[in-house]
Structure 1
């Protein structure tokens, strides 16, 4: 993952990774090093990149080939906390925290992923009912204006001075320069503009911190970087 991901993967594979042949949301079977893999052009960090699915017996070789080829293009090994920091800046939802099987896809801001006109599917009627009745809450992204405090989850969200719910997940946003969190805000009968017109604070260890709120990803809201 990253702005030089295409440059790196082309060094270790003869396959075509251009936008024309391998656009975002597609996959292909590839040769990589002396191995084989499925390369999925998807992302959970909001950057250009590929997820590689490699058989167990070839995984070590493929990793070593990528690691060696990446030495002169700035490759760095990153872990789960780095991934989580990047995904929350992009407002990517985490299943189990931000979304569960008890949450409505429209209230979670994921309506773009559900096509009710394509035919019947499990949950279709629930989506249509919610669409007709209107949303009772929305998942909002928050960024603390003070760069020092940290967010994890379950911190109280205050809207115009009143607690309206918890932060469902949080981490530090290094690009945005402050802690970032997601959480649901009641919005029955309100427009998006109404939700964003309020003043928000997040309470951490008994202290309240001013927060910026957004219904769109604060980082690369048009997802241009993933399609570069």
Structure 2
């Protein structure tokens, strides 16, 4: 059954993948209750459904590292809130070095991890083989093991975020394509869809990198 689109909203989110559903969830948690998310097909039908879902806690900057750790804790919290599974498995990550330069870089990552309370252990060639017996360690000289890294199911994460956002009042409309972003006096005033127009103050474009 197709839902009737509203005439107006404070914010329209275009795209029902993990990014769009995350925006809807967080805006609703911040107290926004006039949120509409539009998905042209069904949730996760774009890039999200075939994403790897890897969760590494260390990023290229302090901000990215904090964001990754926040995400990991959020997935655990959402499972409790919604009763749905994100498919989270903390089976650890193993990064290997085949040169002294790369090994020094990994050692610096271990030091960085300590600043963010992330457990990261430098491991020897033999320890690497013990952790992952299938690996060929002929040219490996060392590495780093982060036991709490892992993976989650991208579809599961998206559905959990969507459910939590809906429980906070966000309106999700699937099978509704956005045809045009409406602008007046250099300001966004709404969107035109294949089911009619929605006036809005803000738009979040979360429909993929090529949109």
Does the TM-score normalized on the shorter chain lie above 0.5? no
TM-score normalised over the length of structure 1: 0.21
Structure number with higher relative contact order (C-alpha < 8 Å, ≥ 6 residues apart): 2
What TM-score comes out, normalization by structure 2 length? 0.22
Q: Which protein shows a greater Rg?
A: 2
